[in-house]
Homo-oligomer: A and B are copies of this chain.
Amino acid sequence: MIRIAVIGYGYWGPNLVRNFQETQDACMAVCCDMNPQRLEQVHTKYPWVELTTEYDKVLKSPEVEAVAVATPVATHYEFARKALEHGKHVLVEKPIAASVAEAESLCDIAAKRNLTLMVNHTFIYTGAVRKMKEIIQHGDLGDLYYFDSVRINLGLIQHDVNVLWDLAPHDIAILDHLVEERPVSVCANGACHIGNGLENVAYLTVYFNTGLIAHFHNNWLAPVKIRTVLVGGSKKMILYDDMEISEKVKIYDRGIEVSDPEHLHHTLIAYRLGDMWAPKLDQTEALRYVTQEFIDCIQTGRRPLTDSISGLNVVGILEASEMSIKRRGREVKL
């Protein structure tokens, strides 16, 4: 039985508490938040959970073996670092930290102390992404050509980060998970209309040496909610539409066949229009798998599916995108 402390009971913390509560071999032991009113909410639902406004108490409690950090991004590093330094396993919300330097530091500490450090890239654990991973890993798509994601809506505007730091981590994590190739550089463009210097609409391109190109479109001021990922390959293509109630993942047996790439004329390109297939997806709440994965990794010592390296990869792209966006799309090497 691993005793867990959840740090931060704001927007996402309640979901963590609820899921740890229902995870085998996990025991929701402590909840820590600076705001006593929020702690009261914990008490109403889970009267047995210990409450505190002081993080030090969590750190010093010998009973707490693992900490889940659900605080604002800017504070991820401090909370996670202290927990690791006190010998506790750590699960951090996405993105794992506010900079590459911070992320690398966390990786180092965890490695040295042989502790589990996991980032909560929740989407990786959805039935949709796991099915996509299975299909891509099996080679069904052929060579990967492009990964195009759109995540836009009229959403809550963050005041400490731009729209890429807020919305893109989900899709960058999906990209990082689905493809083996490593990106080489990024270009980002965007604009700010709210007067605080933080982009509320942004476009990010990620280049790979294999010819794969990835693109992310994020917008806080869109009239409609769109959440799609298109993955195009030489053999098949996937459309993942997270707003669909069922059939979130569609695999299209479509493409072109280039008979003779040396001498390219119209007649040598043949279009292929085949079936479409929407596999049944596991409907389990993704967060349940996250908490289970965390506990399993602590118990067995294996690396999590969304380990600190994937956390670092995502932050690497975000940090580069911020440099690029300030220079109007100038390519930034990774």
Contacts and interface: CB of A to CB of B under 8 A. Distances in A.
B271 A154 contact: yes
Contacts of A253: 280
A1 interface: no
Given A193-B234, A234-B193, A221 B255 contact: yes
A275 interface: yes
A278 B280 contact: no
A185 B264 contact: no
Nearest to A220: B256
B230 A247 contact: no
A264 B195 contact: yes
A279 to B, nearest CB: 5
Contacts of A215: 189, 203, 217
A146 B275 contact: no
Contacts of A324: 329
Nearest to A187: B329
A277 B274 contact: no
Interface in A200-227: 201, 203, 205, 207, 211-213, 215, 217, 219, 221-225
A104 B190 CA distance: 31
A319 interface: no
Contacts of A192: 211
A146 B219 contact: yes
Contacts of A239: 223-224
A113 interface: no
A157 interface: yes
Closest 3 pairs (CB-CB, A-B): A187-B329, A223-B252, A195-B261
